[in-house]
Amino acid sequence: MSFSKLDARPTATALAICALLALGGCGKLGDVTGSLGPQRQTELPRDDAELRRFAEEWGRRFDSDPKNKRVATTYARALTRLERHAQAVAVLQGLAIRYPEQMDVLAAYGKALADAGRLQEAADVLARAHTPERPDWSVLSAQGSIADQLGHHEEARDFYQTALKIRPNEPSVLSNLGLSYPLSKRLPLAEETLLTAAAQPAADIRVRQNLALVLALEGKFEEAESWSRHDLSPIDAAANVASIRQMIAQSNSWREIQNYGARGAKASAPRAAHQL
């Protein structure tokens, strides 16, 4: 849930909106979570034209050496960034067939399946991408994202909390957890969790834009815009927050979440202050 493909473009918060909507069951894991693993990865270009050239180059490398894990996973990541999800799945499916016991391959394949909307298949693959004896916090976070998208929010939070025991204060996991709470109309807790995530040194634009989204859902539009300006121009930050306001105004379900969150904030304020 985190949501992973967001970068510093004017559509960042618009994508964050899609990410949170995705948790209702219609979106991509790549929008709502970070990288599946701490392994070293080749950096992808940010420019679209450069990214397409990058994908073509790594596609040629893949054609020449399809058994090379680094080549296949790098090519698949580029395809995912280009939203060529079915192709990314095909690349990683072949790799998983060649290396059925290698958990890093299964993790990458499971994420690609989720990005392609094949959530139950993704859940099944990711369940084999680590073991109870050697749990992987990043896979746990990905499993949580999928559970949220399938509507299993309590199960999702169990995954996130387990991941945080292994990797305390990991901003990508906290961000996923923070985006999970609004689905149960717990906006104050979502804000608190995302503020903690944003305070971590490794927090990136995805975390800050998710925080901006939740703040806007609470009606804290000036704070939301302030957080958006950490990564976007003032004009783009204002436009993104305006898009969230429009979404809330046009959606009964989002107004219900916002209003419920406002009532909950008043009722739980003393407790929240005590926790701080």
> What are 108-140's pLDDT values in tens digits?
999 999 999 999 999 999 999 999 999 999 999
pLDDT at position 40: 64
Structural domain ending residue among the three candidates 135, 153, 185: 135
User: Is residue 154 assigned to a domain?
Assistant: no
Q: Are residues 173 and 244 in the same domain?
A: yes
pLDDT at position 257: 60
User: Is residue 140 assigned to a domain?
Assistant: no
Local structure of residue 182 (DSSP, 8 states): G
- How far is residue 108's CA from residue 17's CA, in Å, rounded to a whole number? 25
User: Is residue 2 assigned to a domain?
Assistant: no
What CATH number does residue 247 fall under? 1.25.40
User: Is residue 145 assigned to a domain?
Assistant: no
The rounded average pLDDT for each run of 10 residues, N- to C-terminus, in the chain (276 residues) is 37 45 43 40 90 97 96 96 96 97 96 94 97 94 94 95 97 95 91 97 93 92 95 92 83 59 37 23
The upper half-sphere exposure of residue 250, i.e. CA atoms within 13 Å in the direction of its Cβ, equals 6
pLDDT at position 264: 41
Our count of domains for the chain comes to 2
Q: Are residues 124 and 53 in the same domain?
A: yes
Q: Are residues 11 and 51 in the same domain?
A: no
Residue 162 CB coordination number (10 Å): 16
As given in the structure block, the two tokens for residue 213 are 């989204």
Q: 202 is in which domain, residue-wise?
A: 7-31+166-276
Q: Are residues 83 and 25 in the same domain?
A: no
Q: Are residues 126 and 206 in the same domain?
A: no
Nearest of 143, 68, 158, 52 to residue 105 by alpha carbon:
68
User: Is residue 151 assigned to a domain?
Assistant: no
Residue 207 CB coordination number (10 Å): 29
Q: What angle in degrees, to the nearest 10, is found between the helix axes of 103-115 and 137-149? A: 20
Q: Are residues 128 and 175 in the same domain?
A: no
What CATH number does residue 84 fall under? 1.25.40.10
